[in-house]
Structure 1
Amino acid sequence: MLLFVMRHGHAEPLRKSDETRALTDEGRAEVAAVCRQRASELAQVKTIWASPFVRTRQTAKIVAETFDLPVEIQEFLTSETPVDVVLDALMAADAQRFPLMLVSHQPLVGTLVNGLCGSGDEHPMGTASLACISSEIWARDCAELEWLQHRP
């Protein structure tokens, strides 16, 4: 099964709350560029799960509109969520939902990618970075990083 993990695009500076930070024009352009560069791979995605924060919902919407996909807001996909919570959700998800895409934040996306692949902190996840991971079981050290695309 394939899992795509994306960090949101570049967002505006923190003002009132982290949850309400929106993408900048640069962030929107980053996400759109990554979608163009990985269009053939992303065309496989069946469902997008996104964090409830504004910038991740906006990122997911760009991907969803590009590939005509549904977006499901998942309250657990915030930056400080323990990786095991995400792994449990992935294991509980119906196999028919894969390839699945997660859109979230650091440090969660980096910890998830590196934890699944057993790679320490080898694979950085900058804004609009997109990882493709394959596995038959969603557990630590049980997946293979197929590729990692950073923003142009």
Structure 2
Amino acid sequence: MLLLVMRHGRAEPYSKSDETRALTDEGRDDVAAVCKERASELAQVKTIWSSPFVRTRQTAKIVAETFEREVEIQELLTGDTPVDDLLNALAEADEDIFPLLLVSHQPLVGSLVNGLCGTGDEHPMGTSSLACLSAEVWARDCADLEWLQHKP
């Protein structure tokens, strides 16, 4: 199974709350550029899960509109969610939703990618970074990093 993990694009530094911070124009452009770089891989995605925060929904929408997919909002994808909670949700997910794209925040995306691969902090997840992992089960140290795309 394939799991793609994307960190939201660059967001405005200030808003009424962290949840309402929106993407900047540069952030939107970076997400679109990553979509272009990884178009063949993203075209295979069956399901997109996004954090409910504005910047992640906007990031997921760019991907979804590019590849004609729907976005499912998942409260579980906020940055402070314990990785084990997300791993449990992935383990319970039906296999037919994969390849699955998760759009979320730091520290969750970095902890998830590195935790699944057993790589400590080896693989950084900057804004607009997109990682592709493969595994038969979604558990710590059980996945292989297929590739990691940073914004061009």
Q: TM > 0.5 between the two?
A: yes
Matched, 1:139 2:134: no
Residue 76 of structure 2: SS of its match in structure 1? Answer: coil
Q: Distance in 2 between matches of 1:76 and 1:10?
A: 21
TM-score normalised to structure 1 length: 0.99
DSSP 3-state at the match of 2:131: strand
Deviations 1:29-86 (A, max 9, x none): 0000000000001111001000000000000000000000111000010010000011
Q: Secondary structure at the match of 2:56?
A: helix
What is the correspondence of 1:34-49 to structure 2 with a 5 Å cutoff? Answer: 34-49=34-49
| % same residue | 79
Amino acid across the alignment from 1:131: A
Shift of 1:15: 2.9
CA distance in 2, matches of 1:78, 1:32: 22
CA displacement, residues 88-127 of structure 1 (integer Å, 9 cap, x when unaligned): 1101111000000000000000000000000000000000
CA–CA distance in 2 between the matches of 1:15 and 1:62? 21
Asked whether 1:13 is paired with 2:30, we answer no
Query: Aligned-pair distance for 1:16?
Result: 1.8
Q: Which amino acid aligns with 1:63?
A: V
Q: State the alpha-carbon separation in 1 of the partners of residues 109 and 118 from structure 2.
A: 14
Distance (Å, rounded) in 1 between the aligned partners of 2:93 and 2:31: 26
* Number of aligned residues: 152
The letter for the 2-side match of 1:139 is: A
Letter in 2 for 1:105: H
The structural deviation recorded for 1:14 is 2.4
User: Once superposed, which parts of structure 1, at least 4 consecutive aligned residues long, lie more than 6 Å away?
Assistant: none
Uncovered stretches (5+) of structure 1, i.e. residues with no partner = none
Partner of 1:25: 25
Instruction: Select between 11-20 and 44-53 the one with higher mean Cα deviation.
Output: 11-20
**Secondary structure of residue in 2 paired with 1:44:** coil
Q: Distance in 2 between matches of 1:51 and 1:99?
A: 18
* TM-score of the superposed pair, with normalisation by structure 2: 0.99
Name the structure 1 match of 2:68.
68
Structure 2 distance, partners of 1:32, 1:111, is 24
Query: C-alpha distance in 2, partners of 1:14/1:53?
Result: 14
